[in-house]
Amino acid sequence: MDKFNFIIDGNHITNEEDLHNFILEKIDSIDYVVEDDLRGKKKKKPDCKPPGPSPVCLKLMFPYKVEVMRGCKQMIFGILVDKHGHPIKHPIIEFELSDYSLGNLSFSPAISFGDGCFCTTFVGERVGRGFIKMCCRGTDLDRIVPVEVKENHCC
């Protein structure tokens, strides 16, 4: 047993057994038991739900429809603002192409700036139609951008 050497309420405690006995005596000497209904009740917290996605809108987006010749590049850019019209700082905007055989996106997630502006580049590789789905983390942005890659008749 460990050696103790201290005094609590006039009782000299020298080992674990003395300490245990002291605690048992203290419990027995308490002439009242605290009932649950006498204790202060914890206030019931309302159901905590996450705030959900914040509402946003595109103040500007160009183009609203991507029409590009095969082998050519189209920049997609815009400005994302909150419900009060303030720009979203450094939005994480993600683009997803419906059919990757149509082409590819140079930046996904898009390059974003501190003033709500973002941009990505689409390169058309095969003639066809599809769409680019655009969303932003933590917001309700869910935009579909039609894509059409046309044959390049310049050659």
CB 149 within 8 A of CB 99: no
> What is the distance between the alpha carbons of residues 83 and 23, in angstroms, rounded to a whole number?
61
Average model confidence (pLDDT) across the chain:
80
Kindly report the pTM of this predicted structure.
0.59
2 in Cβ contact with 16 (< 8 Å)? yes
Domains located in the chain, CATH noted: 1-43 (no CATH), 56-150 (2.60.40.10)
Per residue in 98-152, pLDDT tens? 888 888 887 767 888 878 888 888 899 999 999 999 998 889 999 999 999 999 8
Q: Which class for 61: exposed (0-12), middle (13-18), buried (19 or more C-beta within 10 A)?
A: middle
